[in-house]
Amino acid sequence: MIEKSCAVNTFVREMPEARIDKASTNRMLVPVVRPIRLIFAALREIFDESAYHRFLDRNHLESSPSAYAVFRQENEQSKSRRPKCC
């Protein structure tokens, strides 16, 4: 803490700014961020969000209700063609 004289025998206290080392902060967050990213990636696969984005990229489309309808139709057709085991 630094004390400065402001007026007649009055002191103003200034707090020094905290120095944050961004590199060490990033290193500390890596073990937390990686598992979270993995969980989100798994959820995107489970709920077909990643498949939808691959479909949009493959067909050079933008996300829209009609594009999603085509994706769902294509997705259902591919699932219905798969032979069932047992």
Examine the pLDDT at 25 and tell me if it is beyond 80. no
On whether residue 2 sits in a domain, the answer given is no
Residue type at 74 in one-letter notation: E
On whether residue 7 sits in a domain, the answer given is no
On whether residue 3 sits in a domain, the answer given is no
Domain that holds residue 73: 22-81
Q: CB–CB of 55/71 below 8 Å?
A: yes
CA separation for the pair 39, 28 (Å, rounded): 19
Domain count, the chain: 1
Examine the pLDDT at 7 and tell me if it is beyond 60. no
For 49-76, the pLDDT digits (tens) are 999 999 999 999 999 999 999 999 998 8
Interior angle at CA 52, CA 47 and CA 55, nearest 5? 150
On whether residue 1 sits in a domain, the answer given is no
On whether residue 62 sits in a domain, the answer given is yes
Q: Which residue has the tokens 């937390």?
A: 32
On whether residue 13 sits in a domain, the answer given is no
Mapped onto helix, strand or coil, the DSSP state of residue 59 is helix
Question: Dihedrals φ, ψ of 28, to 5°?
Answer: -75, -30
Q: Mean pLDDT throughout 24-35? A: 83
CA separation for the pair 38, 60 (Å, rounded): 27
On whether residue 11 sits in a domain, the answer given is no
On whether residue 44 sits in a domain, the answer given is yes
Percent of the chain whose predicted confidence (pLDDT) is above 70: 73
Q: Give the confidence band of 9 by pLDDT, cuts at 50, 70, 90.
A: low
Please tell me the predicted confidence (pLDDT) of residue 49.
93
Please tell me the predicted confidence (pLDDT) of residue 3.
52
No. of helices (H) and no. of strands (E), the chain: 3, 2
